[in-house]
Structure 1
Amino acid sequence: MSDTQEAFRFAKPYELPHWPFQTPPELLNPDAPVARHPIVIVGAGLSGLTLACDLAQRGIKSVLLDEDDTVGVRGASSRGICYAQKSLEIFARLGIYERIVAKGITWSLGRTFSGDEEVYSFNLQTESCSEQPPFINLQQFYVEWFLVERILELGMTDLRWKSRVGKVEPLADGSGVCVEVQTPAGSYMIEAEHLVDATGAHSPIREQLGVACHVSRSTDRWCISDVRFTKPLPVERWTWVDAPFNEGRAVWQHLMGDGVWRMDYQMREDCDPEEISRPEVAGARLREQLGPDVEFEFVWIGPYGYRDHLLERFREGRVLFIGDAAHVVSPFGARGGNSGIQDAANLAWKLALVVEGRAADALLDSYEAERRPTAAQNLQVTSRSARFLAPRSEMEHMLREAVVALAPRHAFARAMVNTGRMSAPNPYPPAPLLPDGAVSVQNLPLLLDGEATSIARLLQGSTHCLGLLVSPTATQAEAFGREVATRMPIRVLAISGEGPLPTLAQDDVLLHQLGDPPNGSLVLLRPDAYRCACLTDATPAKLTTLMRQALALRPAAGCDG
């Protein structure tokens, strides 16, 4: 077979699932009053599906609208491929992690090269004590597919395909949003008490509401080749700062599901997107990297350029923005899709408590207070990575050359080699409901009364916090079991100690994750597995005051102390 013929060889296209359009009740009974729904989500991508699934897991109904009838994008391009530990822990709680780990590629080791020399490597597993690995690589459409099937299993979500949102208008009394929905069977109107925009970077809802997004476009150009090789490569993340086989520009190399490799090649700023995506051109790049005899088939080829934006506000009245509708960053370090997934996990439990009437509307304000600083930090980190890989000045070039030259011999320089700081759960800064901020706790394997469990399993089901009481006396444990557990959205467990509470085995790793609290104290874990407070000499009255503040709980929720 000639080189030209081999360059054109493509794998059989993916067959993505399609779900049928079903005529909504509003069109079956057009004379009925406009239907009002507590939660309407627009966009069945990663963040919208995660939010709907998280709500359903908590027993909360929602309507999810999407203009398509499938997942991913036409052509099944790889798009997002790296799912970080925090996202995997969320998926474990939602019930799809086992499918992801079975289909995806688990990795923790990354290597960075300059020319032919390895200048830096890392192993993310060294700092992990979670049940989930640091990262799994999997094509985004698979994760979306698993989420849809889980949503259908849970049965709480009215998932409406082929439903394009037209006009969006806040109600005059401020109690919700009126939404026009366009379908193959006609258009109709619904009202949403809370509308969540998960429509992505080009959100039509954001545009209608006049929300400025301050778009910045990079001149950095890349080309993706999704490739299946006859001879496998090492299952590691390899990155070249200045690959000799790519005219001294950057290259990334990842393995995904189905034995497909994603190869990212940095291109000239003035390149022709159509030209660099031609199979014979992409094939020549692969042979330049891996040798003239490398055997492969293409799965997908496509160019891309970066853009970023960050909304000033993630909430406009009754409209909340998540995922790419709220923020877009360069793809370095897998901080895009993972951030959207974690937006959804932050918002879901807050919406659940508010629509159930257990928490005040102020709890929804905390979504922006926590997630916007996270997005701003991710934007800063990815912008620095972009400048390192594509220097814009002679000084930046000199700095990168110096760092790369020193990295093989000096630890301080290795820490400066920036090919994308990998996604990690951001701590939340102090805010009105979080005086001390909050820190994510890993999904530790634990023993509860001798039975295996984990943080994620303890947080499954209804919306509740975890109160972890450290080595309580029998009197203290009895007081919490009698006065708190039955009246508040919290499950109180003892860590060792005496008394009637369900008891976790003493675990030094757990105590370290909780901040090494003293005996008799109680650590509060929110429903999203963030440690938000520690009460020393804990009492039910102190916990009542704390939870009222941290969750904006209403007195009617039975939290009167």
Structure 2
Amino acid sequence: METFAFTPAYELPAWPFTPPPELDSPKVVRHPIVIVGAGPSGLTLACDLAQRGVSAVLLDEDDTVGVRGASSRGICYAQKSLEIFERLGIYERIAAKGITWSFGRTFSGDEEVYNFNLQANSVSRQPPFINLQQFYVEWFLVERILEIGVTDLRWKSRVTRVQQLADGVRLDIETPAGSYTIEADRLIDATGANSAIRTQLGIEAHASRSTDRWCISDVRFKKPLPTERWTWVDAPFNEGRGVWQHLMADGVWRIDYQMPEDCDTAYISQPEVAGARLREQLGPDVEFEFVWIGPYGYRDHLLDSFRHGRVFFIGDAAHVVSPFGARGGNSGIQDAANLGWKLALVAQGRAGDALLDSYDAERQPAARENLQVTSRSARFLAPRSPAEHTLRRAVVALAARHPFARALVNTGRMSVANAYPVAPLLPEGGCTVQNLPLRWVDGRETTLMQLLADGTQCIGLWFAPTREQADAAREATASLPLRLVAVGGESDNHGLLTLQPDDTLAAHLGIGIGIGIDDRGSFALVRPDAYRAAVLANATPTTIAAALRTALALDAAP
């Protein structure tokens, strides 16, 4: 039997354990914000807060990133996540290291059923997707957190007990130098799917384990394959089951093979068995080395609420979905971006506490939607009944010839930013605003994320206000976290930073078809997480201030 070579394992960074001051303190020290778990969501939240000048304690029981010995976990980072990373200052590193893609092909057997280009509807500076091994993203986040220097990042710190208090949370922490206790005004659980904090607090996760089984092969080829996402609904080289093929950083391909439900996971992960699958797919003459091989099954769960008193759940601690469409890790990153600015403004006394309730009101429905979408993908890729098999065969047969059927081929609807439902703080609902490239009136370039990167404030994009309106609006919102930006208007800029008129910006904000007479006076309120909170057709200083107070829960009942 043929033997297969492995490339050397990745060398992950390690950071030193530093004994915390509480070990020598006779008092129980209280911190405003404590985050547990240095995965993508916990690190994103810590970095987000640090960027806003808000300190937090971040605890992790390890001293490195990723999972030792495993290269593949999350790999596909969606546009909304990439926009968040732009604001946090690590996007350029991700783009330089990762693989940018927007084009994909879907096959049934040997026939291409259809292809797609995700770039078609994008106006963002960021691409639809970049593929990059998860540990690199975590690595870049840690280095950015250390660079900012606001976060108290504590490695080798395992939380052994959590107790809810009337006005906070108490945590017992075990370290190599001994154990200690701290308290937090607010605790964020980012410890993942098997959260011990969630278990200790007795919170039901409603877990459901799938019988679907897959085997990952991370492979480096001597001769590269096309840089596209290829998916087989029923690959002839995998006994009629599904296959995904993605390129990641370092010239490593991740190929996922769907396996029989009753497979022996140890057997299917043996190099000889995985190598035989690759030979079946690519032929006997293709030269390659393995980087890593591993089986996975998955389960899903969803908490009824992402806030329990002073404890907030983000990422996999709050919700787990199947991996189809890259909606898991991206959703956790977006949880962090949703919660970060709210924690910052409440901690600074510039927003009402009800703003924190809106985290659950927005992100829980988003997770529910992601769960529904991925569950449908799972049923398409692994039909459970003769009727489902028949439906899939019919859809695939029609898709090659009829555009309407292509929308029904479901190999994983790719992750997009969720819209938020109508709620007291979002009377019109909330939709994401992409990171459009913009220009100031003097010709200098900027982007929406650059406007949002400075401090914690909403952006008010006001189309051609008059000088009198600008003066009155500044006075009406002087005590509120708002940066007013004019789009077009009078030549002296009436004291406001002014962008050049931009039809794409107006249309994207839902204001109109261009910067014409009908748009004059229109106003869009964009939150710090780049979600549109309100659109005002004929804005006045009074209506602008009222929309901002609503978005920040400043008029909410205590």
Q: Same fold (TM over 0.5)?
A: yes
Separation in 1 of the partners of 2:393 and 2:537?
Answer: 51
**Which residue does the alignment assign to 2:227?**
235
CA contact (8 A) 1:478 1:501 kept: no
Separation in 2 of the partners of 1:292 and 1:111?
Answer: 24
Deviation of the 1:553 alpha carbon: 2.6
Separation in 2 of the partners of 1:243 and 1:350?
Answer: 46
Matched, 1:501 2:496: yes
SS of equivalent residue, structure 2 residue 105: strand
Separation in 2 of the partners of 1:421 and 1:231?
Answer: 30
Separation in 2 of the partners of 1:71 and 1:298?
Answer: 21
**Which residue does the alignment assign to 1:4?**
2
**Which residue does the alignment assign to 1:19?**
15
Separation in 2 of the partners of 1:361 and 1:212?
Answer: 25
Give the counterpart of 1:91 among 85, 104, 108: 85
CA contact (8 A) 1:252 1:264 kept: yes
**Which residue does the alignment assign to 1:542?**
543
CA contact (8 A) 1:66 1:162 kept: yes
**Which residue does the alignment assign to 1:30?**
25
CA contact (8 A) 1:481 1:500 kept: no
Separation in 1 of the partners of 2:504 and 2:252?
Answer: 37
CA contact (8 A) 1:37 1:193 kept: yes
Matched, 1:131 2:128: no
**Which residue does the alignment assign to 1:104?**
98
CA contact (8 A) 1:215 1:307 kept: yes
Separation in 2 of the partners of 1:89 and 1:109?
Answer: 19
Separation in 1 of the partners of 2:32 and 2:542?
Answer: 32
Matched, 1:464 2:465: no
Separation in 1 of the partners of 2:405 and 2:537?
Answer: 42
Deviation of the 1:545 alpha carbon: 1.6
Separation in 2 of the partners of 1:444 and 1:200?
Answer: 33
Identity percentage over the alignment? Answer: 72
Deviation of the 1:77 alpha carbon: 2.3
Stretches of structure 2 lacking an aligned partner (at least 5 in a row):
513-518
Deviation of the 1:423 alpha carbon: 0.3
Separation in 2 of the partners of 1:122 and 1:143?
Answer: 26
Deviation of the 1:554 alpha carbon: 7.0
**Which residue does the alignment assign to 2:350?**
358
Give the counterpart of 2:47 among 47, 50, 53: 53
- CA displacement 1:72-111 (0-9 Å, x = unmatched): 0011321000000000000000000000000000000010
**Which residue does the alignment assign to 2:263?**
271
Deviation of the 1:537 alpha carbon: 2.2
Deviation of the 1:316 alpha carbon: 0.5
**Which residue does the alignment assign to 1:474?**
467
Separation in 2 of the partners of 1:435 and 1:115?
Answer: 48
CA contact (8 A) 1:110 1:236 kept: yes
SS of equivalent residue, structure 2 residue 191: coil
**Which residue does the alignment assign to 2:505?**
510
Separation in 1 of the partners of 2:200 and 2:425?
Answer: 31
TM-score, scaled relative to structure 2: 0.97
Deviation of the 1:477 alpha carbon: 2.3
SS of equivalent residue, structure 1 residue 265: strand
Give the counterpart of 1:291 among 259, 283, 296: 283
- CA displacement 1:117-163 (0-9 Å, x = unmatched): 00021100111111100000000000000000000000110000000
Deviation of the 1:175 alpha carbon: 0.7
Equivalenced residues, count: 546
CA contact (8 A) 2:473 2:544 kept: no
Deviation of the 1:482 alpha carbon: 4.3
SS of equivalent residue, structure 1 residue 387: helix
Give the counterpart of 1:144 among 133, 138, 141: 138
- CA displacement 1:356-392 (0-9 Å, x = unmatched): 1111211100000000000000000000000000000
**Which residue does the alignment assign to 1:559?**
none
- CA displacement 1:158-198 (0-9 Å, x = unmatched): 00000000110011xx2100000110011100000000000
Give the counterpart of 1:338 among 330, 336, 358: 330
Indicate the RMSD between aligned Cα atoms, in angstroms: 1.1
The amino acid of 1:444's aligned partner reads L
SS of equivalent residue, structure 1 residue 456: helix
The amino acid of 2:296's aligned partner reads Y
CA contact (8 A) 1:358 1:554 kept: no
Separation in 1 of the partners of 2:547 and 2:97?
Answer: 42
Separation in 2 of the partners of 1:303 and 1:77?
Answer: 13
**Which residue does the alignment assign to 2:516?**
none
**Which residue does the alignment assign to 1:113?**
107
Stretches of structure 1 lacking an aligned partner (at least 5 in a row):
556-561
